Amino acid sequence: MKPNFTLRLRVFNLNCWGIPYLSKHRADRVKRLGDFLNMESFDLALLEEVWSEQDFQDLRQKLLPTYPAAHYFRSGIIGSGLCVFSKHPIQEFTQHVFTLNGYPYMIHHGDWFCGKAVGLLVLHLSGLVLNAYVTHLHAEYNRQKDVYLAHRVAQAWELAQFIHHTSKKADMVLLCGDLNLHPKDLGCRLLKEWTGLCDAYLETRDFKGSEEGCTMVPENCYVNRRELEQFPLGIRIDYVLYKAVSGLYISCKTFKTTTGHDPHSGTPLSDHEALMATLCVRHSPPQHTSSPSHGPAERSALISVLREAWTELDQGMAQALWWATITGYVIGLGLLLLALLCALAVGGGIREVVILLWTPSVGLVLGAGAVYLFHVQEAKGLCRARAELQHVLGRAREAQDLSPESQPALQPGRQEGDRAEEQ
């Protein structure tokens, strides 16, 4: 790599809102998205909510001359909805499906059926290794009473851990996607603190687009304005995040979003806004550390967010165990009822009642059994994430205790981390 080397990387991200039969003007929007991507010729285009594999194949066909490499990440029943188009050859790819992703009985929300995941692409650009990740976390349906909060925090943690463990030898890390997290939400802070990723919108000096970088705005005709009532400017839940890992420095030269309209004409490309970032990769100047610094301030921020996440996962676990207990009782009741019906049938009692109640009772036992098993598995998943978090928390605290600048005032309650390796 030459001393005055500069690598310019143009990245595109969009949650495409591509639900077959449900999303408005889907075919037209996919067509216009293809035209736009061809015209702009980005290095990488990372897309979410491409639920129809046919849409991916159509796009692939159209984009082949400009983006010779492409991949669709398959998972779950419906699919992850994630795909990527690249101007450069994809050296390697793999994916990680999140352990927790909502509830199968919340059919109207549907997230569970998608198999939400994070996809990883490894690219070699000018002798540098770029690990590019694309993801989509569980949606937020009710911000006031968010029953999926623990799952989303667990997903943010799994995402952070996947990036942490798979990017150790990468020179650059890029994460794009719909995190369904506002910038100050716990999951977003957890992800950034643990991975050291920088937010392109916050880092750039040249931003053009929607106010405050929002990626769902009321100007967009596909957005349900009632859902944005509390946020008159909109919300920012889609991100371009990046970091340099070794001896390099990345800066975000320009960052653009669409503003609720098509970049050229027609309706918007999606109900989300598209993100376009130009990243510049250079040798790390002396005043910049290439990896996230681990001074006392960073450590205490990490400790604080880890504790918050630990508490959230702990509450989620308690909730999961509560549901498992309740359904356990329902199973017991159902079995009692079945025994009673058996006794009635044998005794020649009211036969019509037995016939009528037998099948609902079996249904009750089987249904409650399935829900019970689901919540047992949910508790195990949350417990696993909590154990990993607890271990990192313990080590961060040890580092804080050992550092000369350690501030005892920053370590109030130690109950969660005391048994850091006892998981």
Q: Which residues bind a copy of itself (CB under 8 A)?
A: 60, 68-77, 79, 89-97, 99, 113, 115, 120, 161, 165-166, 168-169, 355-356, 359-360, 363, 373, 376-377, 380-381, 383-384, 387-388, 391-392, 395, 421-423
Q: Which DSSP string do the residues of 25-80 spell out, in sequence order?
A: THHHHHHHHHHHHHHH--SEEEEEEE--HHHHHHHHHHHTTT--EEEE---SSS--
Cβ proximity to a copy of itself: between 69 and 279 the closer is 69
Q: Half-sphere exposure (CA, 13 Å, Cβ side) for 364?
A: 17
How many angstroms separate the Cα of 365 from the Cα of each of 248, 323, 331? 59, 15, 5
CA quadruple 71, 73, 79, 82: dihedral sign: negative
Query: Looking up tokens 């968010």, which residue turns up?
Result: 146
Residue number, 229 or 421, with CB nearest to a copy of itself: 421
Helix (H, G, I), strand (E, B) or coil at 83: strand
**Pairwise CA distance, residues 324 & 209, whole Å:** 47
Beta carbon nearer to a copy of itself, 100 or 216: 100
Min separation Cβ 40 and a copy of itself, Å: 21
Separation of alpha carbons 408 and 406, rounded Å: 6
- Rounded least distance, CB 143 to a copy of itself, Å: 30
Q: Which of 209, 316, 302, 291 is nearest to 258 (CA)?
A: 209
Q: Which of 136, 151, 272, 375 is catalytic?
A: 272
Q: With left for phi above 0 and alpha for psi between -120 and 50, is residue 41 left, alpha or beta?
A: left
> What is the rounded CA–CA span in Å between residue 170 and residue 418?
33
Nearer to a copy of itself, 287 or 359 (CB): 359
3-class SS of residue 170: coil
- Mark whether 165 is an active-site residue: no
CB closer to a copy of itself, 221 vs 373 = 373
Task: Take residue 100 and report the two structure tokens written for it.
Answer: 């927790």
Which active-site residues does the annotation give?
A: 272
